[in-house]
A and B are shown apart, each in its own frame.
Chain A
Amino acid sequence: MARRLKLAGLIDLLWVEQPREILELAQDRRLDREFLPQGPWLNRLLARGIRRHLQLDGQPLPPLAPIGDERPNAAQITLAQSLEGPPCSQADLEALAAYVARGNTLDGPGVLVQGIVGRLFNGDYRADPQSYRDACLLDTAARTLNPWRQWRWRRSGDVDQARARLAEKVDRDPVALHATAIAVHNLVAALERMRRLAMERPRTLAHITPAAAASRCLAAPGTVLRQARTHGNHAVGSFAPGTLILFRLETARARSLRHDVAFLTHTWSRCPAAAWAPRLLSEAWRKAGKMMPAQGG
């Protein structure tokens, strides 16, 4: 089932939340991520906002790059290969497990997770509350559909400064910037869910297998956007150049629990962390279970 908001000349949005429909449209090459300023007025505004926030040195962040000729592109393949080993260091894993089992991080796992993700790209990466706040701001700016907030951010330059600080921490590597500023929030949400699950009942950690816990807690991006390049039709509705199609990925994932929906695994825009993220969550759950042997029966 899809929802439509269309006012001629003003706005044209199409929300899709059925897993099957999302997977079909994610394969559809009539839709892209170029976010050209075309279509109705508000669509142009939104596309401009996305391009403005999710770029580095004038180039779109790689995970937001348009289809291009080669998919998956070299950067995606390299990253996916680099994530094949252990998901993180033992020390990081223990810190994650302690959070899941005991919730012993006052401000949530944001800084911890940002550090883990950052060290995938830069062994010396150190996250701190400021870097995590910057990541939250950049993520909010990229996701908002509110033109008033967009305007305020443009005036203040807060988002640009946050992006600059985050980019410096990863040597201006656009892939790492995206991972530590945008993708990190899905992992944080997943760990918060995991902790809630572990806290529900003392024996949950023993009763739910790591794979099942990872599946239950995995978090996909709330919304992923595509822009129609051409006129076309699909079962969910018709579109024209500039129509913004919003995949409600987390809704679809929660409904189906499928990893290929969460990571768009079998599409040209697949997430390179499709295997890494569930593995990290499984390991954290397993380790957390071992931390609570007395209650694990």
Chain B
Amino acid sequence: MRRGSSFEAPWYDRLLGKLTTRLARRRPWFRWPFFIAMAMIVGHRVNLRQHNLTDTQTVPSPAPPNQDFDVRGMRTADGSYNDMSEPWMGMAGTRFGRNMPPEAAFGEVPPRLYEPSPRLISNKLLARREFIPVPHLNVLAAAWIQFMVHDWLSHGPNNKDEPPHDIPLPEGDDWPEGKMTVLRAHADDRNPQDQGLPDAYTNVETSWWDASQIYGSSLERQREVRTDPTTGAVLEDGKLGVQANGALPIEGKTQHGKPSKDLELAGVNGNWWVGLSVLHRLFVHEHNAIVDRLRIDHPDATGEWLFQKARLVNAALLAKIHTVEWTTALMNSPEGRMAMRGNFWGLLGEQYHRAFGRVGRGEVLSGIPGSPADHHGAAYAMTEEFAAVYRLHSLMPDEYSFRRREDDQELLHADLTGVSGGEVTQIYRQVGFDDVVYSLCTSHPGALVLHNYPNGLRRIAHTGTKGVFLDLAAIDVLRDREHGVPRYCEFRRHIECHAPRSFQELTDNPHWQRELQEVYPSVEDVDLLVGTLAESQCQAHGTPPGFGFSDTAFRIFILMASRRLKSDRFFTDDFRPEVYTPAGFDWIRDNSLRTVIARHCPQLRGHFADVRNVFFPWAKTGD
């Protein structure tokens, strides 16, 4: 295990970090003027890189033999060989890292594990009373983050070998059969080097930003998505399989083998719903468009070569869209936009970058892509804390209205269950793809606040087991405790955030203060998820103005969003035309989600022509 505190930043970075720490003691970064706030964001990142990166892989997994695969110029299916000196790094099946020091990362055990009851929290603090929308975003923004999370991480199946958790039910709870059991999380096997350490959990997906949600995290899965659904043979032209009508192939089961009627095929097709389906379909078609473009310059290239190069380009395009479009929509403030665009283009900006290219190799002036790779002292991996702050289920609406784009007339109304799993295929039978995209992009996601957790996710019928239900809100709370993610106040202390000393400091909303007090014995006991939602209404230390998510999440975000790029060889040392091909490199530079949607849904162009960001609500017909 290595921890980032061994990483030593240059003196000027350390100085900035120290100044930031001092300034942050007076007030948080977003309450300082713009230029100081920007410097503080960079300073916080320096400090987080130094103190908040822990590698838990005490015994590195052996990397598979690379056979004849060009690991230098292409991404392997399982994510190995991204770091050539430590080929196991970030590959599927390696452990989650941590953003907390190891001593703060021990999983909770009973009775603390069940106190207060996660179900009580779900009922009293999370359950949606009425839908609270985010007026400046569309539902594609909610789908997008799940699309990305499926690329980065999954804890995989739970532990069926040990007795499940028996979650205490509050008095009068109407939970079916009066008993709530939840399978335990599956900790990785311990080895002698783990003595003294908290349990670690494995990421069954690759940790890299490699579009594994589309392509899968194994060669076997990759072959499946490359298979022509009509012939059953792997496509020799390097393209991904689609049906004749452009829809994704039907798999009829999840990637873990659970039967699910009419479920579409994707690299990752768990927790499937219509928003995911739309994005998968768009980027499967984008892959095929990239293959067509590359073939013009490389007519003699094999299908395998075209596939792998198109994957590189598609993954980089996704990373770019996420960095400069999605995050700037969620962090809709001058500082948020500057910080995230700066991650990709640098402080000199996109126009300068296009005109003159990079200035030096540093990441500040010209952005992370193309700068040297750096793991900052800890082997790259997704982290438990990152997974925890990305529990953004409140973004999901409970009700969906599918309307015809020509006249905005409703064609279908469905609840969450009706847009999930194999039901998506049923929707496409009644509503055209363009109309589905139009409908999602003219609807709002839910706000990340208390009392806005979709009720549809608080009682999910368990796939394949009749009469068994899940409360995802309760499970979200339970998993953080089980994985050893510190509770809200302690979590904030570890990331240079002010830790509230009372419920009054946690949130300005007097109703929430009272409700929190009824559930938790003290503010120190507040769970991370609950705290991040409650701080949405706290002016002094809570969610920054214009932001769609908490400052707590943002701190992990500025560390990990940069790290996903900075650690990845294909975004740093090998982010160059020689690896991506000149046409592929230009494709990344010249495209965005706007051009992707325009290419594959040209009829919809008019609806987003006037929006600054395609994750903002589109114009409805008749507006």
Chain B residues near A260 (CB, 8 Å)? 192-193, 195-196
Assess the B196–A259 pair: CB atoms within 8 A: yes
Number of A-B contacts (CB under 8 A): 69
Give the residue name and chain of the A residue nearest to B4 (CB). Answer: A255
Assess the B1–A19 pair: CB atoms within 8 A: yes
Given the interface pairs A1-B6, A255-B3, the reply to whether A212 lies near B192 with Cβ below 8 Å is no
Given the interface pairs A19-B1, A215-B106, the reply to whether A258 lies near B112 with Cβ below 8 Å is no
Assess the A206–B1 pair: CB atoms within 8 A: no
Assess the B524–A201 pair: CB atoms within 8 A: yes
Assess the B2–A265 pair: CB atoms within 8 A: no
Report the interface size for chain B: residues with CB under 8 A from the other chain: 25
Chain A residues near B193 (CB, 8 Å)? 258, 260, 266
Assess the B106–A218 pair: CB atoms within 8 A: no
Among B1, B6, B109, B111, contact of A257 (Cβ-Cβ < 8 Å): B1
Give the residue name and chain of the A residue nearest to B102 (CB). Answer: A257
Could you mark each residue 2-35 of chain B with 1 if its beta carbon is under 8 Å from any beta carbon of chain A, else 0? 1101111000000000000000000000000000
CB distance from B444 to the nearest CB of A (A): 40
**Bound-complex Cα distance A212 to B1 (A):** 17
Among A208, A209, A218, A266, contact of B196 (Cβ-Cβ < 8 Å): A218
For window 128-160 of chain A, which residues contact chain B by CB distance below 8 Å? none
Residue B197 CB within 8 A of the other chain? yes
Residue B58 CB within 8 A of the other chain? yes
Assess the A206–B112 pair: CB atoms within 8 A: yes
CB distance from A278 to the nearest CB of B (A): 7
Residue B198 CB within 8 A of the other chain? yes
Residue A250 CB within 8 A of the other chain? no
Residue B518 CB within 8 A of the other chain? no
Assess the B195–A265 pair: CB atoms within 8 A: yes
Chain B residues near A297 (CB, 8 Å)? 111
Interface centre among A17, A209, A266, A278 (most CB of B within 10 A): A209
Residue A256 CB within 8 A of the other chain? yes
**Bound-complex Cα distance A201 to B377 (A):** 33
Assess the A278–B6 pair: CB atoms within 8 A: no
Given the interface pairs A257-B102, A258-B1, the reply to whether A18 lies near B196 with Cβ below 8 Å is no
Give the residue name and chain of the B residue nearest to A275 (CB). Answer: B195
Interface centre among B2, B7, B103, B112 (most CB of A within 10 A): B103
Chain A residues near B524 (CB, 8 Å)? 201
Interface centre among B3, B6, B192, B194 (most CB of A within 10 A): B6
CB distance from B106 to the nearest CB of A (A): 4
Give the residue name and chain of the A residue nearest to B55 (CB). Answer: A256
**Bound-complex Cα distance A260 to B192 (A):** 8
Assess the B198–A18 pair: CB atoms within 8 A: no
Could you mark each residue 93-105 of chain B with 1 if its beta carbon is under 8 Å from any beta carbon of chain A, else 0? 0000000011100
For window 237-261 of chain A, which residues contact chain B by CB distance below 8 Å? 255-260
Assess the B197–A258 pair: CB atoms within 8 A: yes
Binding site for A on B (CB under 8 A): 1-3, 5-8, 58, 101-103, 106, 108-109, 111-112, 192-198, 377, 524
Question: Closest 4 CB pairs between A and B?
Answer: A259-B196, A212-B106, A257-B102, A216-B103
- List 19 additional contacts besides A255-B6, A256-B102; criterion CB under 8 Å: A1-B7, A19-B1, A206-B111, A208-B106, A209-B109, A215-B102, A218-B196, A255-B3, A255-B5, A256-B1, A256-B2, A256-B3, A257-B103, A258-B193, A265-B195, A266-B193, A278-B195, A278-B196, A297-B111
CB<8 Å pairs between A and B, sample of 22: A1-B8, A18-B6, A19-B2, A20-B2, A207-B112, A211-B106, A212-B106, A212-B198, A215-B106, A216-B103, A255-B3, A255-B6, A256-B1, A256-B2, A257-B1, A257-B198, A258-B1, A258-B197, A259-B196, A260-B192, A260-B195, A266-B192
